Structure 1
Amino acid sequence: MNGFPLISTITFIPLIGAIMLVGLDAERKRLARCLGLGFSLASLVLVAVMWIHFDSSAIDLQFVERHPWIPSFSAEYFVGVDGLGLLMVLLTALVTPMAMLSSWRISEKVPIYFAMMLFLEAGLLGTFTALNCFHWFLFWELSLVPAFFLIKLWGGPNRSAAATQFFVYTMVGSVAMLLSFLAIYLAAHTFDFVQLAEKGHTGELASMLNLNLGVYGLNSRQFPLFIFAGIFLGFAVKVPLIPFHTWLPTTYAEAPTGTTMLLTGAMSKMGVYGFIRILMPFFPEQMRIIMTPLLWLAVITIVFSAYSAFVQKDLKKVFAYSSINHLGYCLLGVFAFAKFTGSDAHWNLEKAAAMNGVMLQMFNHGLTASILFCFIGFLEQRSGGLRDLDQFGGLRRVAPVFCGLMGISIFASLGLPGLNGFIGEFLIFKGSFPIVTWATAMSVIGLLVTAIFLLTIIQRVFNGPLNAKWAGLPDLTLKECLLVLPATALMLVMGIYPQIVIGKINTTVMQMVDLMKY
């Protein structure tokens, strides 16, 4: 792009928009909505330009910007993307305008609401592009603050408790992660992701931690594991990995629809991204040492969350637990990828399949889950805030368009072949099964339970006798259809031709495979 700071422009456009909206008069609601949407669409257009100009055959980071910031502290403004970063930036840029459009009816503190949405988008974009621990952590925390206020100020009846729980959980994880980053800096004297990944793969980082910071009572194997645990906690809470998940169902249920769309569509991917970008490259040996416990956590996350979704009555909580379940598949693929298998070509192909599946699943889940919460928001608007499974029935008779389009999203979440949810899960299971057979086989239980509870939703909400209370329930309006149809079309395109994404990420995946051989 001839030196144009594309990533900085994409990231700072929402920040500039948020600052403008904060200073806007509270009564100028329509202008606030239009400005918020306009700034998010501007970032989306530039992300589309980035996607077009991204060289899918190059192994190096692209669109790199690097400037000294605090040299004495090794803090740099260092950004760039590979296939993984590109995909997460695209996901964020797609979900944010949809979340804003679904929030169009917000009537209280409208400029502040849309400003918080833009601040959150900027935090997410910065997290997915920053390549220096100090710089990256600032954006990681930037995403936490607006999310807290969006839940606290515009959420449901229990919003205060949900916002506090969300903040406490994520802050504890962030503090543990920050302390581990500081320990890494004191040992390695750098915050650079690229350098730390190189030191991690050679084992030099663990040696430096022991040499420079070794704690009496912890041997050379235990101390790097202790530092690993701090970063692991931060990412495990964000995914979330069971048992660090209890904040999520309440948070998703109480947050306003647009905020929930951003939380599940993009913010939940920060944890899985961190596992791939930071934890696995920095500490591959430590991940392998505790591989069995990690796999058990992934299996428990998949199976337990599926059963939890099955027993819920609140539609938002059903899909909140479903979100944990789907991200559990991603962690299964990540842990299988990290397992040592040597340089045999057969195992490398299986690992490539698993990691391609993980990245596809992150993108597909973000798209599908956010739209499902959008449909629940439509239902809440029409029912006066009701969303209990037992309160509906027979809606396809009065709202066939709503039921048809939401049904496509449910089937995509279920993993129906021909829709986007299938290919990611298929590749994860295809790649993981030969490497971690027992864990993959047990995780299939989660697929079965997921199919049961999703089909139960269709049966209880869409089919059966029509509840007379909903005889006059209006179907989707043209504007609402225009909101969900682009995402629905993308689900179909991704289901039929996933190569549109795999072609962009496969070189990055193969480079990861090459680095994880040893």
Structure 2
Amino acid sequence: MTFLDTGLLLILLVVLPIAGALAIIGVSAASIEFGRRHALTVALVAALMTFGLALRLISQHANPALVVDAPWIPILGVNFHLAIDGLSLWLVLLVALLTPLAMLVSTSITARRQVYFLLILVLESGLIGVFLARDLVTFYVFWEIVLIPAYFLIGIWGGEGRLAAVTKFFLYTVVGSLLMLSAIIGLYVAHGEATGRYTFDLDALVAARNLLPMELRTWCFWGFAVAFFVKIPLFPFHTWQADTYAECPTPVTALLSGAMSKMGTYALVRFGMGLFPDIAREWALPILALAVVSILHGALVAIVQTDLKRLLAYSSLSHLGFVTLGVFSFTVYGVEGAVFHMAAHGVTTGALFLLVAMLETRRRTTALDGFGGLASTMPRFAFLMVVASLASAGVPFTNGFIGEFLTLLGAFTSVAGPWFAVAAAAGMVLSAVYLLTAIRETLFGPHQSVFESPDMDWREIAAVVPLVVLMLVMGIAPGFFLGPTRPAIPSAAVAARNPAGPSPSAP
């Protein structure tokens, strides 16, 4: 056993991006111009090292020694508790992969480059911490850390409407976070009174959840749920999303849509189902209805969009509705499909936003009518755009198909009955409509002769090809990705009626 087979690996995953940020500060302190020129190199090295370490989790995620549980604020029962399992494995890897790829397409960032890449690294550290945390205070701290760099990245490098967008984003997120903090404190006090042990440890709180009053558990569930619904987002908590994604620097939008939105869906399974399974089941029908509304509303509004970033923002709203649908189906298929679709959506939407960032760099616009005929002038770009769009539309043998199929299967076989699945399936049809429309207008529409756009260079190809390959690998060999998931799903999350037959992750 090496030191990388212990909890030190998890600490390094959180600390390495921060070390990279500190290195940027050190380089810039020596020479501002030198720091500006080499900020990307320093940040990229730190991000690639983090990704290299994250790859080790694939073989080590079931290692019981891979845990950190050290006293942080002993007098309050707060521990710095990190752990990894099949539920968080692919999300940690997703963050570690998207971060360096987003850096590669950030060539349009020229002002205060040091600060930009520094904030990207802090964002990465916070996201990884959220997916590793097993203590509620540790989780909340990382949850809030993510907000800080996201706020400044949007507010400084965003578009003309960035101030209004980032203000709405901040207010929604803070209100949700305060509700969650209130719920955390309520759980802490009630658990201490019921057991005599005051702790924020997730495992301890889960073990004693039935000792707490039903009314308290209901209020605490909704304190957590609203915070998670805002972050996903789920209808009607989504009104911040389109403005924020549209005004955000496009490479950062790839991180927000591809990784940050998964904070909410992941937390629904880890904390919502883990701590309050009975309350979640009681409110499953109205939440399933909201999930279906998100799917259809997002798809329908995406169809009428004239801006690529807004189209993808509403597409994200629709796709993450499928994740919520799977989670609240309370079936093995549904929850496994939801976890798979979190990673699948992160890969596809990350690739699509990175591709849009390349267009924005060339044309200084993301409006659909600003493009046309790109298939003839940018054939490499066109090929990758088509594959990514087909994966997002859920074409068989792509990752989008597997995730949506499993969530629909879970919803169809749940106690809620088939009607939610039937309604949600219409979202798959609508997604093909708006994605094919976007492809037609940008790649095969009337050629914009005023603009002659060069095709993708080696850096841009390196940023997107790994994601496109992953879309196909996940679609062709889903068992590899589904395998670690089932043992990590909270048992109460699949307590409802399940279909006969083996799980899709079973050999």
Q: What is the TM-score when the length of structure 1 is the normalising length?
A: 0.90
Give the match's secondary structure for 1:245: coil
| Alignment partner, residue 502 of structure 1 | 482
| Alignment partner, residue 472 of structure 2 | 492
For the 8 Å contact 1:11–1:125, the answer to whether it is kept is: yes
| Alignment partner, residue 382 of structure 2 | 403
| Alignment partner, residue 284 of structure 2 | 291
Give the match's secondary structure for 1:77: strand
CA distance in 2, matches of 1:38, 1:420: 29
Cα RMSD (Å): 1.8
Matched, 1:303 2:282: no
| Alignment partner, residue 214 of structure 1 | none
Q: Which amino acid aligns with 1:124?
A: L
For the 8 Å contact 1:394–1:464, the answer to whether it is kept is: yes
Give the match's secondary structure for 1:83: coil
For the 8 Å contact 1:54–1:62, the answer to whether it is kept is: no
| Alignment partner, residue 379 of structure 1 | 359
For the 8 Å contact 1:62–1:82, the answer to whether it is kept is: no
Measured at CA, do residues 284 and 509 of structure 1 come closer, stay the same or move farther in structure 2, by a change above 3 Å? closer
CA distance in 1, matches of 2:106, 2:219: 43
Give the match's secondary structure for 1:68: strand
Overall identity of the aligned pairs, in %: 39
Q: Which amino acid aligns with 1:456?
A: T
Deviation (angstroms), 1:123: 0.4
Deviation (angstroms), 1:461: 1.4
| Alignment partner, residue 160 of structure 1 | 163
| Alignment partner, residue 341 of structure 1 | none
Q: Which amino acid aligns with 1:265?
A: G
CA distance in 2, matches of 1:515, 1:38: 45
Deviation (angstroms), 1:224: 2.7
Give the match's secondary structure for 2:450: helix
CA distance in 2, matches of 1:12, 1:179: 28
| Alignment partner, residue 217 of structure 1 | none
Residues 3-42 of structure 1 deviation map (CA, whole Å, 9 limit, x = unaligned): 4511011111111211232344232223211110111111
Matched, 1:48 2:43: no
For the 8 Å contact 2:162–2:248, the answer to whether it is kept is: yes
CA distance in 1, matches of 2:138, 2:362: 44
Q: Which amino acid aligns with 1:63?
A: L
Residues 144-186 of structure 1 deviation map (CA, whole Å, 9 limit, x = unaligned): 0000000011111111111111111101100010011001101
Give the match's secondary structure for 1:76: strand
| Alignment partner, residue 215 of structure 1 | none
CA distance in 2, matches of 1:512, 1:115: 40
For the 8 Å contact 1:24–1:111, the answer to whether it is kept is: no
The equivalences for 1:341-360 within 5 A come to 351-360=331-340
| Alignment partner, residue 192 of structure 1 | 201
Q: What is the TM-score when the length of structure 2 is the normalising length?
A: 0.92
Give the match's secondary structure for 1:264: helix
Q: Which amino acid aligns with 1:315?
A: L
CA distance in 2, matches of 1:132, 1:104: 38
Deviation (angstroms), 1:54: 2.9
Residues 71-100 of structure 1 deviation map (CA, whole Å, 9 limit, x = unaligned): 221100111011011111111101111111
Q: Which amino acid aligns with 1:190?
A: T
The equivalences for 1:50-449 within 5 A come to 50-55=57-62, 63-188=66-191, 189-200=198-209, 203-204=210-211, 208=212, 210=213, 221-337=214-330, 351-383=331-363, 385-435=364-414, 436=416, 437-449=418-430
Q: Which amino acid aligns with 1:377?
A: A
CA distance in 1, matches of 2:217, 2:55: 40
Deviation (angstroms), 1:386: 1.7
For the 8 Å contact 1:62–1:81, the answer to whether it is kept is: no
Count residues with an aligned counterpart: 483
Residues 257-304 of structure 1 deviation map (CA, whole Å, 9 limit, x = unaligned): 221111011100000011001011111111122222111111111111
CA distance in 1, matches of 2:491, 2:273: 14
| Alignment partner, residue 344 of structure 1 | none
Runs of 5+ unmatched residues, structure 2:
192-197, 499-507
For the 8 Å contact 2:154–2:247, the answer to whether it is kept is: yes
Deviation (angstroms), 1:242: 0.7
Q: Which amino acid aligns with 2:445?
A: G
| Alignment partner, residue 213 of structure 1 | none
Q: Which amino acid aligns with 1:392?
A: F
- Where does structure 1 differ by over 4 angstroms across 4 or more consecutive aligned residues? 510-518
| Alignment partner, residue 446 of structure 2 | 465
Q: Which amino acid aligns with 1:462?
A: L
Deviation (angstroms), 1:391: 2.7
Deviation (angstroms), 1:514: 6.6
Deviation (angstroms), 1:477: 1.7
Q: Which amino acid aligns with 1:414?
A: A
| Alignment partner, residue 482 of structure 1 | 462
Q: Which amino acid aligns with 1:441?
A: V
Q: Which amino acid aligns with 2:463?
A: L
Measured at CA, do residues 135 and 365 of structure 1 come closer, stay the same or move farther in structure 2, by a change above 3 Å? same
CA distance in 2, matches of 1:85, 1:48: 13
